[in-house]
């Protein structure tokens, strides 16, 4: 039996703003597209402090995971793009608080800039429990 690629879309996270989807699923895995800290209603908050942006990006990620029947404890890999490496320690604090006991593999990639002038973007790969 051939499996198909699923698409995850939720109104509880910022809509995909280009030619992509919030997430795709395949064979029990969820691939979450890069999440900027865009508000759920699509409004931008790029003038907010880094911590506020980090929380919103993670909130978007978690909402998409929930829409697929998953959550932070089912993440396998998280990639975080941050503008200004000086934000790394603050991100670690916010991330540890919001992820609670979940500790997926992770990479933080300092970048010179992100779309709309944001300071952070997060993408992830996880599993969807009970998807077999």
Whether residue 1 has pLDDT greater than 70:
no
With H, G, I as helix, E, B as strand and everything else as coil, classify residue 22.
Answer: coil
Count the neighbouring beta carbons within 10 Å of the beta carbon of residue 129. Answer: 13
Q: What is the pLDDT of residues 69-121, one digit of tens each?
A: 999 999 999 999 999 999 999 999 999 999 999 999 999 999 999 999 999 99
Cα separations in angstroms, 53 against 20, 45, 82, 101, 128: 22, 7, 11, 22, 26
Domains in the chain, please, with CATH? 6-127 (3.30.1330.40)
pTM to 2 decimal places: 0.95
With H, G, I as helix, E, B as strand and everything else as coil, classify residue 12.
Answer: coil
63 burial class (0-12, 13-18, 19+ CB within 10 angstroms)? Answer: middle
- Taking alpha carbons only, the member of 119, 103, 128 closest to residue 26 is 128
């Amino acid at each position: 039996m051939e499996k198909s690629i699923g698409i995850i879309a939720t109104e509880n996270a910022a809509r995909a703003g280009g030619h992509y989807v919030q997430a795709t699923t395949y064979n029990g895995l969820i691939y979450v597209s890069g999440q900027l800290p865009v508000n759920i209603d699509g409004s931008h908050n790029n003038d907010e402090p880094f911590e506020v942006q980090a929380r919103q990006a993670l909130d978007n990620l978690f909402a998409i995971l929930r829409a697929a029947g998953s959550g932070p404890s089912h993440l396998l890999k998280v990639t975080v793009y941050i503008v200004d490496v000086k934000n790394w320690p603050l991100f670690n604090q916010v991330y540890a608080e919001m992820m609670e006991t979940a500790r997926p593999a992770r990479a933080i990639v300092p970048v010179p800039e992100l779309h709309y002038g944001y300071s952070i973007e997060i993408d992830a790969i996880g599993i969807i429990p009970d998807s077999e």
